[in-house]
Amino acid sequence: MSKIHLRIQRCSWADRDDALMAKYHDEEWGVAQRDARMLWEMLVLEGFQAGLSWRTILHKREAFRKGFAGFDPAKVARFGEKQVERLLADPGIIRSRAKIEATIAAAKIYCDMQARGEDFADFCWSFTKGKVLRGDGRSVAASTPLSEEISKELKRRGFKFVGPVIVHAWMQAVGIVNDHSLACFRRHA
């Protein structure tokens, strides 16, 4: 008897030769994330991706988590020059002073929102009234009017590295938008 090998259909970007990318696609990308801290972590990581590939960030994610105190906003908000210098010397992460300082500033904004009683997750999902938006599965836009709107609001609040393209990639990553391709097994999960 011959064995039938069925290949799982994934989005084309989910490299089958990179187990970490495939696992990320299969278990995280496009899954509606409602945890405020995780939404913030992913926004920060998408900002670090600017000018790079997600593969690079994903393979450095554990080093980022270690360097940024598990992405605990309260801890990161207290980072000073000593921690910035430590991070700039860490080959495990992207060593960009501007992005490191933007992360610290974003942690302070996150904490300020929390102190005012504004939950970051509620803020993130308010733009879609808590609903997951679904792309057409045929094409993926680099940005959308909604990512432009969210980008403007994040910038107004003081966030950096949150242009409309980065914000749209973040929306896809955290499942605010389901942009899995029509043939992808995760589209209807």
Active-site entry in 28, 54, 101, 153 = 54
Q: What is the pLDDT of residues 81-116, one digit of tens each?
A: 999 999 999 999 999 999 999 999 999 999 999 999
d(CA 93, CA 110): 22
Closest by CA position to 152, among listed 166, 141, 142, 163 = 163
How many angstroms separate the Cα of 146 from the Cα of each of 3, 98, 141, 153, 165? 47, 26, 11, 11, 11
**Matching residue, tokens 């605010």:** 176
CATH class of 19-178: mainly alpha
pLDDT of 158 strictly over 60: yes
**Whether 54 is catalytic:** yes
Q: pLDDT digit string (tens) for 40-73?
A: 999 999 999 998 999 999 999 999 999 999 999 9
* Catalytic one of 46, 110, 125, 170: 46
pLDDT of residue 189: 77
Helix (H) or strand (E) holding 134: strand 133-134
Q: Taking the domains of the chain in order of start, what are their residue ranges? A: 19-178
Which residue out of 24, 28, 101, 148 is catalytically annotated?
24
Give the closest residue to 142 by CA, choosing from 154, 129, 151. Answer: 151
Report residue 54: phi and psi, to 5°: -65, -35
Residues 93 and 87: beta-carbon distance below 8 Å: yes
**Taking the model in full, what pTM does it have?**
0.93
Examine the residue annotation and report whether 24 is marked as an active-site residue of this protein: yes
CB 157, CB 112: distance < 8 Å: no
13 is catalytic: no
